[in-house]
């Protein structure tokens, strides 16, 4: 239930902030590509609410001894859908942040760094998506072992997860640091700079969550009590 509560709470706050952002941009006639990219990211992320609710209902966070067969099948199935939608929302959100920074600066070195962030984020998501659909053949074998299929060594998923997580940490910190450096160099009052930089640095919170999640990625290798252990990663 902690996972469901966290998802609904933080997700609702994010949605409200996004709506207020669109309203402010529309009122000032400043709507740009960064807003559209954020809109795409939010639209892709919204199904995560539904998928998370279903996974929690199916028994995520519960040990195998307390689950029926349908719990495991449904739980893992919708967990896969959650992972896919969540992963694909991130590149658009990070691209939105980068294009927002493009609005206030034209320095080539910073633009190059942010373009690298967008490319790296897109590539990591693509690699993760391919891994999800390629490791298990057919994909249905991921959650339903009664289907004839085969699976690559589970440690492949774990290794890819570590790689993607490290890359996510780097890109998250880059998206937080570069805008802060840019704003600090602008001609404005120090008090305003500190306030704006503090808001921009909130992006580092995302990387903090990823760092906390790292020790739990090993649970991808454990078949026993999978839905119980995976709750630590999803949360």
Please determine, for residue 1, whether its predicted confidence score (pLDDT) is greater than 70. no
Q: Is the pLDDT of residue 143 over 90?
A: no
29-52 confidence digits (pLDDT tens)? 888 898 999 999 999 988 888 888
Q: Which residue has the tokens 């691209």?
A: 95
User: What pLDDT score was predicted for residue 43?
Assistant: 92
Q: Which residues pair with 136 in a beta bridge?
A: 151
Residue 67 pLDDT greater than 70, yes or no: yes
List, as own/partner pairs, every contact residues 13-21 make where C-beta atoms lie below 8 angstroms and the sequence separation is at least 24, other chains included.
Answer: 14/42, 15/42, 15/46, 18/42
Q: What are the boundaries of each domain within the chain?
A: 2-234
Predicted structure pTM score:
0.84
- Mean pLDDT comparison of 29-38, 50-59, 151-160, highest-scoring range: 29-38
- The model's pLDDT over 163-208, given as tens digits with 9 standing for 90+, comes to 888 888 888 888 888 878 877 777 777 777 777 777 667 667 777 7
> Is residue 149 very low, low, confident or very high in pLDDT (cuts 50, 70, 90)?
confident
Using one digit for the tens of pLDDT, what is the confidence trace for 106-140?
788 888 999 999 999 999 899 888 887 777 777 78
pLDDT computed for residue 235 by the predictor: 66
């Amino acid at each position: 239930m902690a996972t469901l509560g966290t998802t609904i709470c933080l997700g609702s706050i994010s949605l409200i902030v996004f709506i207020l952002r669109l309203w402010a941009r529309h009122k000032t006639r400043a709507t740009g590509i960064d807003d559209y990219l954020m809109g795409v990211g939010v639209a892709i992320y919204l199904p995560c609410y539904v998928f998370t609710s279903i996974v929690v209902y199916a028994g995520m966070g519960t040990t195998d001894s307390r689950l029926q067969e349908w719990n495991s099948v449904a739980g893992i199935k919708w967990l896969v859908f959650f992972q896919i939608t969540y992963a694909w929302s991130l590149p658009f959100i990070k691209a939105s942040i980068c294009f927002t920074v493009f609005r206030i600066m034209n320095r080539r070195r910073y633009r190059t760094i942010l373009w690298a962030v967008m490319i790296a984020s897109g590539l990591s998501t693509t690699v993760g998506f391919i891994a999800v659909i390629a490791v298990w053949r057919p994909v249905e074998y991921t959650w339903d072992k009664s289907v004839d299929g085969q699976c690559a060594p589970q440690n492949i998923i774990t290794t890819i997860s570590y790689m993607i997580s490290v890359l996510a940490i780097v890109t998250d910190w880059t998206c937080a640091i570069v805008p802060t450096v840019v704003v600090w160099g602008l001609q404005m009052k120090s008090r305003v700079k500190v306030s704006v930089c503090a808001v921009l640095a909130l992006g580092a919170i995302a990387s903090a969550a990823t760092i906390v999640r790292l020790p739990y990625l090993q649970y991808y290798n454990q078949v026993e009590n999978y839905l119980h252990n995976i709750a630590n990663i999803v949360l």
